[in-house]
Structure 1
Amino acid sequence: MNKLIKVSNQEDIFLHYQGTPIETLLKYHNLKQPFENHLKAKILIGMCMDNRKQLKLPNNFAYILRSGGGNLRYSEFKISYAIALGGVKSIALIGHNNCGMVNLESKKEKFIKGLVENAGWNIEQAEEHFNTCSPMFEIKDEIEFLLSETKRLRKKYPNILVAPLFYKIEDNLLYLVKED
């Protein structure tokens, strides 16, 4: 967690994000900047589907994609749509602590039991589903995954500003991530 920089005032925002939608996102969410009216999205935000995270944003400011762990590997067409047709030039990729996609193997029994009890699946179906899909979504470390996904997206979309941010569940704030 020593890679995280708390954003408590405008001076904390990295210079290369100033004057961009990344700065505006941080000002809206962390610094409680009054909302402006936006006619179209300025940014695409990729973040985890976790229900404990809620961003403070005005309408029309952002496209938001939510998936387990903030894993956007299977959302590239949607990203491309936001860039090509929506005109966004910035992506905020937001990871968070205590992510449920970390150490999925430890949740296997509970996952299977939940599908059997709640979805009406049989044990074999639920186990096959877990074994097939969990490797695609497993995250070893939230920050390491966030940084690797940031690098992957930068390579795929070289003209787009991609910023790794981190949401701490304890204080509901976004943090900048120092990259090596």
Structure 2
Amino acid sequence: MVKLIAVEEPDEILLKYRNTPVERLFLYHNLGEKLPSTTVNAQLLVGKCIDHRKDLTIPNEFAYIIRRAGANLHGSEFEISYAIAVGGVSTIALLAHTDCGMSHVTEKRDVFIDGLVERAGCSLEQASEQFDKQAESYHIEDPVEFILNQMAWLQSLYPKVLIAPLLYRVEDDRLVQIVDIA
């Protein structure tokens, strides 16, 4: 079972995130704390979807950001390791979001193919082949459950790194904490 915990006040930030870059993320993005002109060094790594509706309010140089469809970071292990080993981050924020296009992407075959034919100039055969070969690997059912699975996978690779699963609500541009209470 999953619990979503909103952050409208600083005391709603979970204790495990206090005095970490995750707390700073909530203070900047949700609570409107004044942004410094720079943080000089990255404080965390953010993994999020390619969706155009998500824009974080954070200072310059605050975070490494990896954007992948559905926030699926498989295949980004080198970038993650670089941010940790060379960039010095020890915290990862994984962002799922509401109304994710990768949720049930396999049901969007006709729209996908028509769009590639019309806007990209692909042939019907090329567009169909691309969808049929790749859509399943991008498909996620539930973004929150998917991000919890990503967290577990990343935690197995990087056991000393704090990993925060978060939900970005596109309807109000707010970050919400995800807690797995199973």
Q: Same fold (TM over 0.5)?
A: yes
Which residue number corresponds to residue 163 of structure 1? 164
Once the two structures are superposed, the pairs formed by residues 45-84 of structure 1 within 5 Å of their partners are 45-84=46-85
Alignment match, 2:153: 152
- Deviation, structure 1 residue 53: 0.9
Q: Residue 33 of structure 2 corresponds to which residue in structure 1?
A: 33
Structure 1 position 145, deviation (Å)? 0.4
Query: C-alpha distance in 2, partners of 1:143/1:103?
Result: 14
For these two proteins, the number of residue pairs brought into alignment is 180
RMSD, matched Cα? 1.2
The SS at the match of 1:178 is strand
Using the alignment, how far apart are the partners of 1:170 and 1:121 within structure 2?
Answer: 33
Q: Distance in 2 between matches of 1:170 and 1:8?
A: 16
AA aligned to 1:41 is A
Q: What is the match of residue 95 of structure 1?
A: 96
1:113 shift after superposition: 1.0
SS at match of 2:180: coil
Give 1:21's aligned residue.
Answer: 21
Q: 2 CA distance for matches of 1:171 and 1:110? A: 27
One-letter amino acid matched to 2:120: A
Equivalent residue letter for 2:64: Y
Match of residue 128 from structure 1: 129
Please state how far the C-alpha of 1:2 moved relative to its aligned partner. 6.2
**For the residues of structure 2 that align with 1:2 and 1:84, how far apart are their CA atoms?**
32
Distance 1:74 1:33 in 2: 34
**Gap runs ≥5 in structure 1:** none
How far off its partner does 1:23 sit? 0.6
Unaligned runs of 5+ in 2: none
Deviations 1:25-57 (A, max 9, x none): 111000111112311101000011111111001
Over 3 Å counting, the alpha-carbon distance change for 1:2 and 1:157 in structure 2 is closer
- 1:121 CA drift (Å): 1.1
Task: State the 1:75 CA deviation.
Answer: 1.3
Answer yes or no: is the 8 Å Cα contact 2:106–2:136 preserved in 1.
no
TM-score by length of 2: 0.95
Aligned partners of 2:135, 2:101: CA distance in 1, in Å?
12
Offset at residue 6 of structure 1 (A): 0.5
